[in-house]
Structure 1
Amino acid sequence: MSRTRAGLLVVFLVALLTPVGAARASSTVLCSGYTSCADKGYSNAGYSTHKSTSYWRMYTGTNCTNYVAYRLVSNGMPNVRPKSGVGNAQDWGFAMASITDSTPAVGSVAWWGRTGHHVAYVEKIVSPTEIWVSESNWSGAFDWRKITKSGSGWPDGFIHFSDRVLENTTRPTIRSTPQVGVALAPSVGKWTVMGNSYAYQWTADGTSISGATTKSYTPTPSVAGKALSLQVTASRPGYSPGTATSASEEVEPGELTPGVPTVDGTGRVDEPLIARPGTWTPTPSTYSYQWSVAGSPVSGAASPTFTPRPEDNGRAVTVAMTSALAGYRSTAATSPAPVTVLPGNVTSTANPTIIGTPAVGATLTARPGSWSVSSLAYDYQWLVDGTAIAGATGATYKPTPADRTRPVSVRVTARRSGYLTTSATSAPTAKTAYGTLPASAPKITGSTRLGSTPAVDVGTRKVPQSTVRVQWLRNGVAISGATALKHKVTQSDLGKKLSAKVTWTADGYTRRTLTSSAVGPAKATAKIKATATATPSSRTVRFVVRLPVTGLADPSASIAVTRRGGGTVKFSISRGKGTVTLTKQPAGASTYTFTYAGTSKITSAKTTVKTTIKK
């Protein structure tokens, strides 16, 4: 053994024979022995086969300094002591004070120089207060220990000869512009050592996104518009983890994949059409709608349903749907298959009815009934016994004589632009009865004097095919042969009232008879004629009076004469002639009135005579 080697041996014996119990007071042995540790997965990094070799001129075999020197040389340091003072374990921290601190790191050397005489290799940093080390103990065994920072067992320092820290050389990249709903496949970047395991944390505007801890990430609507970045932590056994963060990029809104809208419904006027969105990816939260007819948007038609209007008949209907979903751009799609609008249905909800009594010549009026659609126009066709009557197409109908004993009905056809034309028929009436001939009461015109010819006015013939028969009546009794419209008054009629009975007849109608009001009685016409002779000396006036009657012999009668301003004197005439003398008449001009009262057969008569008695 060389002098140096002998000196080292003495140093090592002194260092390693020094108790280290205080340094191990707060520790737990995880394994012990090369084989036992290997079986449990705790490596010795090959020292079991290299322990007979001296590293950094340390003593070979089972001792702490040779084992730590071996690990550092294995990590790339030269097999040369970094300083001459790096020999006895208790001196390492003092000799390497410039790289010794209180912060553990994987690959650093745990050093006890104030509270013990020992070095160990830091394998794992569990937390700032817990580390795992591997060590080879003088006159002991190889082991792994867990050391916690409690009590007095924590290392006096950590020497950072060649810490094994994973360092990022090229930042992670997101690779593509982030967009809501599109999966990202980022690059972890480059590290001083590749082939590591990686942990990931995606952040938005610098805040960690809960659950976003895998390499692949699909931005959700909640991060739209925010700055997205990826923090990558590289890990590798025997190295301290390294962390690097990508450049941030704003998350763009997602793109919705539209479905194919369809339209359900018959497509008839007044029957609703329903828009179906189809399958959109992802599913939008809301849809807005715009219905169009013949390519033009319909004002106000912005709901999931649209009811075609009458003016839409025969035109094509489509619907455009615009989706909305938080974090996504609005997307529109239009139904590709237009629906051609069919005419609307019109149904009768209450059958037509007929107002009026079914009789020949009577007016029947059609009522159209009730229908499912308003603002309809109506056409009419009258039917008799179920057969259409030519030309009977108005709202009213008068049964003809040919219709008697047969029922009448009416067929109403409802029509409106944009709708199907539909008909409904009323229930039939009772059998058509005889009609009542319309007539006004007859009236007698003209004089009823003996020899005159009065006439009967039968009024207007309201049924053209009707016939009229007249019968003159004398005091209500038919006058034989008096059946003309005119009747000449005879002596047989004198003193009696005349009337006329008129009878109308027509096919299909009940015979109708009306009698005029009676006129008269019929009389012969009388006339008084008087002449005067005045005698002034005696103050008397003598009158010769005549009473002729047209068509009759002059009658004997009583006549009254009255002087104006004086009294009345009655006298008789015989066979239409007589005289009367008035005495004590005043001198001067006087007016005398002669009056005949008449009889039941002769009219009354009156005349005036003026005469003067000279003074």
Structure 2
Amino acid sequence: MSAAVPTIGGTAAVGSAVTARVGGWTGGTSFSYQWKADGRPIAGATSAKFTATSSEAGKRLTVTVTGTKPGHATASLPSSATAKLPTTASAKVAGTAVVGAALTASTGAWTKGTSLRYQWQADGTAIPGATGTTLTLAAGHTGKRITVAITGALTGYTTVTTVSAATLRVAAAPAPTISGRATVAQTLTARTGGWAGATTFTYQWYANGSKIAGATGSTYRIPESAYGKKITVSVTGSQAGFPTLTRSSTPTAAVNYPGRFTPPKGATSCPSWAPIKGNADSGIYHMPGGRYYNATKPEDCFRTEADAVRAGYRKSRA
């Protein structure tokens, strides 16, 4: 019977599966297996595949293959020994996959004295120069999935590389900005900036850091109750395959009153915070309690007489 020295395929490390490769034996041969650690048989390890446990840490594996075939002599051949089996740990990535954020590689517990090397990857391709324990995500990583490969080496032991699970796709998520004047009765607009891909947005407006009930649109018309407060908006972006992220704007200046307010067409009254009525045709402003005040349909409303005068109006004589 023809027989071949078996070899061991796979990575010889604690927790990794290895396989006995029998080589070229006479056709029709049946095989049995016995795995050994430092020459001692491992109880129950009699299959072609074997996964080492912590009991084999620091030891060298061999496998003896026994071939039998009717009418032929039985042959048993051992493989060469592997390097010592290291204890390894799965690579992991901590952090949020968003441009500007730092990801951190987690190594876990390897055999004492193991030297570790790192290589960050974007969609499986090595990122040049990214060989530290952390990676700060740049605009060029947008839309890609990040992994880290950790290679452990120790003299006399198997060199092992483990690769982390991939992150979600890297998002580009700038902080929103607010356009518009921070004055009562004006409308502010949230500008999201350049997020990655077809992102869906939701909004929440705040006054002095407190959530404004019902203010969940991309615009916000400032009521009188917001006077003196600073307005911010938070934008939450979501897209399949990307992390869901919330970004907040910087605050506006404290909300002030406008000096001049134009009421809706056809209005017969001014708001309580700007009660002085201005009639554009006559160029006259009317004070509350004045003779023609109630009859006047205002084109402009003013908070103070000085505001009306600055706008070119003169005071009613009655």
The TM-score bracket by the shorter chain reads: 0.3 to 0.5
Q: Give the TM-score of the pair, scaled to structure 1.
A: 0.22
The structure that is helix-richer by fraction is 1
Q: Which has the higher contact order (CA 8 A, sep 6+)?
A: 2
Q: Give the TM-score of the pair, scaled to structure 2.
A: 0.39
